[in-house]
Amino acid sequence: MRLVLTSFTRSLVIAGLAGLIGMSAALSQTVQPSPADLRLVPQSDAQIKLSFAPIVKKVAPAVVNVYASRKVVQRRQVSPFMDDPFFRRFFGQPGGNDRPRQRVESSLGSGVIISSDGTVITNHHVIKDADDVRVALNDRREFDADIVLMDERTDLAVLKIRGDGPFESIDFADSDSLEVGDIVLAIGNPFGVGQTVTQGIVSATARTQVGVTDFQFFIQTDAAINPGNSGGALVDMTGKLVGINSAIYSRSGGSNGIGFAIPAHMARFVAKAADHGGKVQRPWLGATVQLVNAEIAEALSLDRPRGVLVTAVFDGSPAFEAGLRVSDLVIAVDGKEVTDPNSFGYRFATKMIGEQTDFVVLRDGAEEHVTVSLQPAPETIPRDTRELVDYSPFEGATVMNLSPAVSEELGMEGIFDGVVIAEVKRGSTADRVGLRPGDIIRGINRQTVETTEMLEGITKKPPRVWQLDIERDGKVSQLILRG
């Protein structure tokens, strides 16, 4: 049987074929290829040899090793009574063996050169209590370095190389634009074996429950970070600095694929502070906030927990002057979303004094903008710092009068009055009694302690029994000691 096409049927077939061809063309424009179709075999030697080496060559000269050392005085003792001259007559060894001796402790970390004049940023814990700091460059040159700034609250420090530049440096990236899944390189000196590069991805941004610094807002990465990497560089694929490697999560002391870096945005803020007097001066809000949990979100008719709830606004503060109110829900700072008090504190604390910042708040169900002027915290009463040396439970403690300025420096949000312990000498009476930095001395023998002068006066006439009222973490406890 033959199929015979008349002129009419032939025209129908041709029209049908044209329609199918048109439909196929349309489908080819709308249907996306599957991931398997996107896999490509390298077509050239250049593609086979794709490497991070060009980025490493660019940034490695700006990453340094940091060696910090400090002298520790030790006394050889054969008896716990050696501090008493009478007992030393019996227990001291002849020949001067009980004389104080010095021992040198050292620590090793990494750092990043951020300007051609030899300015280096590293972690505070790398050079804490150091008497001498030395840096070694990638080309094996070594230089002494001066400590320009130390900021324990951010765990950052700024050094200055003593040497003739220019030095190779690295530029800051916009760490706020970093996204989960971005490829990053970690460069440092793990375990002191020499400069090492590891590669990974950004596992998370804005980690706020790490417990390493006061301003918790970390980049999490699976790039291997080990002891010695602290202070080293986390760089992106453009060769710019996105973070300062700071901590690892580990049960064994080695890398478990969870490392944390301080964002470049915070590092840049601290570096700018080093250029303006060598002291970090953060803006003061004059308000306290709390986390919005599921229960609070339901009470506020929110679709999900978000933002931070304002719980107190202090008279005369920048927050008060700006019109911020108790029960306002702050959901963004300068267009950046805030999810908890840590992320809010990071966004606010990285602003410079003299600027203004914009809060987006939910008030009575509607969004409003509140503009806050960034001012330093005032010292409403002189801090009158005193080191107590007279015999008392406070011997070896350094105390200050509390004010908004002192409260901000010590990270004691919202506590503006009283006498606070700023430092405790190791091995002192205050240390043995159990007093700690941040303790507030509220009373002695039922007498309110209002100033450091008043406290020192009490220690000069010690009572037979000490009844101390000490506030710690918002709770007041009594401590009774014999004089």
Q: What is the mean pLDDT of residues 256-274?
A: 87
Residue among 386, 389, 387, 351 nearest 372 (CA):
351
Q: Is 230 a catalytic residue?
A: yes
Question: Could you report the per-residue pLDDT of 396-450, keeping only the tens digit for each?
Answer: 999 999 999 999 888 887 788 999 999 999 999 999 999 999 999 999 998 999 9
How far apart CA 405 and CA 376 sit, in angstroms, is: 8
Q: What percent of the chain has pLDDT over 70?
A: 80
Confidence band of 210 (pLDDT split at 50, 70, 90)? low
DSSP category for residue 161: E
Q: 73, exposed or middle or buried, with CB in 10 Å at 0-12, 13-18, 19+?
A: exposed
The neighbouring-strand residues paired with 146 are 160
> Contact 267/293 with Cβ under 8 angstroms?
no
Per-residue 3-state assignment (H helix, E strand, C coil) for 138-194: CCCCEEEEEEEEEECCCCEEEEEECCCCCCCCCCECCHHHCCCCCEEEEEECHHHCC
3-state SS assignment for residue 427: coil
Q: Which domains does the chain show, CATH number per domain?
A: 59-90+99-161 (2.40.10.10), 175-275 (2.40.10.10), 283-376 (2.30.42.10), 386-482 (2.30.42.10)
Say if residue 167's pLDDT is above 80. Answer: yes
What confidence tens digit (pLDDT) does each residue in 11-58 have?
433 444 344 344 444 434 444 555 545 567 777 877 777 789 999 999
CB atoms < 10 A from the CB of 345, how many? 23
- Contacts of residue 258, defined as CB under 8 A and 6 or more positions apart, other chains included, come to 203, 220, 222, 248, 249, 250
Structure confidence at residue 115 as a pLDDT band (50, 70, 90): very high
Q: Which is the catalytic residue, given 151, 155, 222, 236?
A: 155
Report the C-alpha gap between 233 and 184 in whole angstroms.
10
Output Rg (C-alpha) for the chain, integer angstroms: 31
Q: What is the mean pLDDT of residues 157-186?
A: 92
Phi and psi, residue 280, nearest 5°: -80, 120
Residue with tokens 């610094």: 213
pLDDT (mean) for 280-288:
89
Cβ atoms 176, 213 nearer than 8 A: no
Q: What are phi and psi of 469, to 5 degrees?
A: -105, 110
Each residue of 55-78: pLDDT tens digit? 999 999 999 999 988 776 555 544
**pTM greater than 0.85 (yes/no):** no
- 352-386 burial by CB neighbour count: b if 16+ within 10 A, else e? eeeeebebbbbeeeeeeebebebeebeeebebeeb
Cα–Cα nearest to 417, from 388, 449, 458, 395:
449
For residue 455, pLDDT over 60 is answered with yes
Coil, strand, or helix at residue 304?
coil
Percentage of residues in the chain having pLDDT higher than 90 = 49
Mean pLDDT computed over 290-308 = 91
Kindly report the average pLDDT of the chain as a whole number.
82
Average pLDDT over residues 86-105: 51
Q: Is 426 exposed, middle or buried (0-12, 13-18, 19+ CB in 10 A)?
A: exposed
Catalytic residue status for 364: no
Q: Collapse the DSSP code of 129 into the 3-class scheme (helix H, G, I; strand E, B; otherwise coil) and give the result.
A: coil
Binding residues for substrate: 125, 155, 228-230
Q: What are phi and psi of 46, to 5 degrees?
A: -60, -40
For residue 165, count other CB atoms closer than 10 A to its CB.
13
User: What are 215-225's pLDDT values in tens digits?
Assistant: 677 888 888 88
Catalytic position from the list 124, 125, 236, 328: 125
Has residue 251 got a pLDDT over 80? no
| Catalytic residue (choose from 230, 246, 317, 403) | 230
Per-residue confidence (pLDDT) for residue 37, from 0 to 100: 56
To the nearest 10°, the Cα dihedral for 342, 345, 350, 353? -170
What pLDDT, on a 0 to 100 scale, did the predictor assign at position 279?
A: 79
